[in-house]
Amino acid sequence: MPAAERDRAGWAALDPCVHCGFCLPACPTYLATGDESDSPRGRIMLMRALERGEIPADDPALVEHLDACLGCRGCEPVCPSGVGYGRGLETAREALARANSFSFRARAILTVFRHAFLWRPLFTLARLFRSTGLPAMLAGRGDTRFTLGMLASTAPMAAHAAGPDLPPFRPSDSRSIAIFSGCVMSTLFSHIHHATRRTLAANGYDVIEVRGQACCGALHEHAGDRASAEALARQNVDAFAEAAERADFIVVNSAGCGAMLKDYGHLLGDERAAAVAAKVRDVSELLAERGPRPGGALPIDVAYDAPCHLQHAQRVHAAPLAVLSAIPELRLTLLPGSDKCCGSAGIYSMLHPAMARAVLDMKVAELGAAVPRPDVVATGNPGCLMQIGAGLRAAGLPIDVAHPVELLDRSYRLAGIYISS
Q: Return residue ranges of the chain for CATH 3.40.50.
A: 159-288, 290-415
User: Residues 6 or more apart from 137 whose CB is under 8 A from it?
Assistant: none
- pLDDT, tens digit, for every residue of 218-240? 999 999 999 999 999 999 999 99
Q: What's the gap between Cα 419 and its chain centre? A: 32
- Nearest one of 80, 337, 370, 105 to 219, comparing CA atoms: 105
Neighbouring C-beta atoms of residue 386, cutoff 10 Å: 24
pLDDT given at position 2: 57
Q: Which of 73, 68, 64 is nearest to 26 (CA)?
A: 73
For residue 341, the Cα-to-chain-centroid distance in whole angstroms is: 11
Q: Is the pLDDT of residue 409 over 80?
A: yes
Contact between residue 304 and residue 385 where contact means Cβ atoms under 8 Å apart: no
Q: pLDDT averaged over the chain?
A: 92
How would residue 380 be classed by pLDDT, with cut points 50, 70 and 90?
A: very high
Please give the average per-residue pLDDT across 271-299, as a whole number. Answer: 95
Q: Which of 264, 291, 141, 120 is nearest to 205 (CA)?
A: 291
Dump pLDDT digits (tens) for 303-347. Answer: 999 999 999 999 999 999 999 999 999 999 999 999 999 999 999
| Ramachandran quadrant class, 156 (left: phi over 0; alpha: psi -120 to 50; beta: rest) | beta
**pLDDT score recorded for residue 168:** 63
Question: Is domain 159-288 annotated with CATH 3.30.2220?
Answer: no
- In this structure, whether the domain defined by 290-415 belongs to CATH 1.10.3470 is answered with no
| Close Cβ partners of 104 (under 8 Å, ≥ 6 residues apart) | none
Whole-number pLDDT of residue 167:
59
Q: pLDDT value at position 421? A: 45
Decide if 228 contacts 114 (C-beta within 8 A). Answer: yes
pLDDT number for residue 159: 54
| Residue 419 pLDDT > 80 | no
Closest CA to 146 of 334, 283, 349, 318: 349
Which residue from 60, 126, 107 is spatially nearest to 220, judged by alpha carbons?
Answer: 107
Domain with CATH 1.10.1060.10 in the chain: 3-99
pLDDT tens-digit profile of 108-124? 999 999 999 999 999 99
Position 262 scores a pLDDT of 97
Residue 268 banded pLDDT, cuts 50, 70, 90: very high
Q: pTM score, two decimals? A: 0.93
Question: Please, what is the end-to-end C-alpha distance for the chain in angstroms?
Answer: 53
pLDDT value, residue 172 = 57
So what's the pLDDT on residue 174?
Answer: 74
Tell me what pLDDT residue 173 has: 65
Q: φ, ψ for residue 338 (rounded to 5)?
A: -65, -15
In this prediction, what percent of the chain has a pLDDT beyond 90?
A: 86
Q: Looking at the predicted structure, is the pLDDT value of residue 401 above 80? A: yes
Segment 1-60, tens digit of pLDDT = 555 566 677 899 999 999 999 999 999 999 999 999 999 999 999 999 999 999 999 999
User: Residue 242 — pLDDT band, cuts 50, 70, 90?
Assistant: confident
pLDDT at 100 > cutoff 50? yes
Give the residue from 167, 148, 130, 383 showing the smallest Cα distance to 260.
383
Q: Which of 162-166, 269-273, 351-355, 381-385 has the lowest mean pLDDT?
A: 162-166
At 420, the pLDDT band (50, 70, 90 cuts) reads low
For the cut 60, the answer to whether the pLDDT of residue 162 exceeds it is: no
Mean pLDDT confidence for 367-380: 96
For residue 389, what pLDDT band results from cuts at 50, 70 and 90?
very high
Q: Domain 3-99 falls in which CATH fold?
A: Fumarate Reductase Iron-sulfur Protein; Chain B, domain 2 (1.10.1060)
pLDDT at 1: 55
Give the closest residue to 284 by CA, choosing from 324, 327, 332, 245: 324
